[in-house]
Chains A and B, each alone.
Chain A
Amino acid sequence: MLIPFSTKNCFRLLCNLKVPAAGFKNIVKSGLILQSISNDVYQNLAVEDWIHDHMNLEGKPVLFLWRNSPSVVIGRHQNPWQECNLNLMREEGIKLARRRSGGGTVYHDMGNINLTFFTTKKKYDRMENLKLVVRALNSVQPQLDVQPTKRFDLLLDGQFKISGTASKIGRTTAYHHCTLLCGTDRTFLSSLLKSPYQGIRSNATASIPALVKNLLEKDPTLTCEVLMNAIAAEYAAYHQIDNHISLINPTDETLFPGINSKAKELKTWEWIYGKTPKFSINTSFNVLYEQSHLEIKVFIDIKNGRIEICNIEAPDHWLPMEICDKLNSSFIGSKFCPIETSMLINILHRTCPEDDEVHSKWNILCEKIKGIM
């Protein structure tokens, strides 16, 4: 049952940090079920960070329910260029977030439920959490065939992935979060999670594509609201706590001091793109110039999201090497980003008094390079 109420007192009790209040010994079973009122992926990820960093979870596990407006979320050590179609995301206004847990790339929209199970490190048990979710699903629809796999996915009818898992383990606390597909736009999901970028060599952790299905397609009664309530009820029963979902506002600094700066950090280019493990691109593209086809070879090394080495090779008769090199050197140190590239080419035009033809060739190359960023 959803009851919006002030959780401030509740939080203060549970947010005992390293200094336990004198006399605060809670021998009664306790725990919390929280649900975010926000659909902003960065704010919701910040809630996870905040709970992980500040809450004392000893004997007090927490379940956090959240949904996001359309976003793509990559794992901590992943490469967004490898994982999703960034060009399409920019056109459609889809947010990109990097979470702090491991695992692969997922697409969130309001048809997907996110569940985060917070525990102490000792009580961290992903399989237990997934079995709880399965019990909750079966309590709504006993005929539903859902099983957890060894890789902590949930499979419907033995073949369709309806949930993926990731987790983060800290000094004393841990969290396990997973998705649950109720009624997500599957067509959009497939196109967004398909990278068009060629020639990427990287050590980043790669996602494993899977066939997915929505629970609503199997049974129209399995809406997000129904499932969130069922999971909350199962969690409450398992931990012997009140079946009581507390709505929280992730921007409330009085409840979560410092949370807005956590959300801000998650939005920075340095976190989202800059944390990408070192990678290189070795590719080529064709340019049509005055009815002749030219092959342009591209070799770029990117570290911390910035170009370390840039080698754009055009046929010498089309663009002499020294002129091409001016373009290459201008890229060194800049972000691997189409906006920054546009700015760079403007600066290059102004500072390099080459002729119009050279400038137009530079523009052609830049448009192609932007297409792979």
Chain B
Amino acid sequence: MALRAAWRARAAACSLRAAWAPAVPCPPLPLGLRAGAARTLRTGPALLSVRKFTDKHEWITTENGIGTVGISNFAQEALGDVVYCSLPEVGTKLNKQDEFGALESVKAASELYSPLSGEVTEINEALAENPGLVNKSCYEDGKLLLEIQRIIAAVNVCRI
């Protein structure tokens, strides 16, 4: 069950906040270099894209202020073939631990719980036609792409 949710979380959970605030200010982009190339030279963004796992086998990564949520390989194997992904509407506001959808596999509906609070701004539409992507590629193509914008006041974190 790869559900990758993209989250834009300005005030992250403590563990994420530590990952977000780099020890040194972000170096300016050298002229002439593409943003993608420059990014790989930084330590800040690398820390941000570390995958963190919850005890319910969901994972979250953040990159450039966008968080992505998915389900681990262990979880997708335990589920079996996913036949349906029920995802929230764009615009849905979620609190941490809110049920935001479900996956169906072999007649079992498994609930999905939000690891962060925020507003959904994007979902992975491919899963509607092809829910099996969740099994085939739980960290890449089968992710549930949600962009979640935090609703609380922004905290002064380094913006990339």
Contacts of A104 in B (CB 8 A): 107
CB distance from A90 to the nearest CB of B (A): 27
| Given A76-B102, A102-B104, A203-B128, A169 and B84 contact (CB-CB distance below 8 Å) | no
Contacts of A169 in B (CB 8 A): 108-111
Q: Could you tell me the dominant secondary structure of chain B's interface residues?
A: strand
* Complex CA distance for A179 and B113, rounded to whole angstroms: 29
Contacts of B104 in A (CB 8 A): 75-77, 102, 205
Contact indicator B84/A101 (Cβ below 8 Å): no
For chain A, the bracket of interface size reads: 20 to 34
Contact indicator B108/A77 (Cβ below 8 Å): no
**Which one of A160-168, A191-199, A311-319 contacts B?**
A160-168
Top 4 nearest A-B pairs by Cβ distance?
A103-B107, A102-B109, A102-B104, A169-B110
The interface bits of chain B over 98-133 (1 if a CB of A lies within 8 angstroms of the residue's CB, else 0) are 000010111111110100000000000000110000
Identify which of A100, A152, A204 contacts B109 (C-beta below 8 A). Answer: A100
Contacts of A101 in B (CB 8 A): 107-109
Contacts of B84 in A (CB 8 A): 77, 102, 203-205, 277
Q: Is B49 an interface residue (CB 8 A)?
A: no
CB distance from B86 to the nearest CB of A (A): 6
A-side residues, CB < 8 A to B, are 75-77, 100-104, 151-152, 165-171, 203-205, 277-278
| Given A205-B83, A277-B84, A152 and B107 contact (CB-CB distance below 8 Å) | yes
CB distance from A95 to the nearest CB of B (A): 21
* Complex CA distance for A204 and B104, rounded to whole angstroms: 11
Contacts of A77 in B (CB 8 A): 84, 86, 102, 104, 109
Q: Could you tell me the dominant secondary structure of chain A's interface residues?
A: loop
* Complex CA distance for A152 and B110, rounded to whole angstroms: 17
* Complex CA distance for A104 and B128, rounded to whole angstroms: 19
Contacts of B107 in A (CB 8 A): 75, 101-104, 151-152, 165-167
* Complex CA distance for A76 and B101, rounded to whole angstroms: 11
Closest to B130 in A: A203
Contacts of B111 in A (CB 8 A): 168-171
Contact indicator A171/B56 (Cβ below 8 Å): yes
Identify the interface centre among B106, B109, B111: most chain A CB within 10 Å of its CB.
B109
Identify which of A166, A204, A278 contacts B108 (C-beta below 8 A). Answer: A166
The interface bits of chain B over 75-92 (1 if a CB of A lies within 8 angstroms of the residue's CB, else 0) are 000000001101000000
A-B contact pairs, 5 of them (CB 8 A): A102-B104, A166-B108, A168-B108, A168-B109, A203-B128
* Complex CA distance for A104 and B109, rounded to whole angstroms: 12
Closest to B86 in A: A77
CB distance from B143 to the nearest CB of A (A): 18
Contacts of B83 in A (CB 8 A): 205
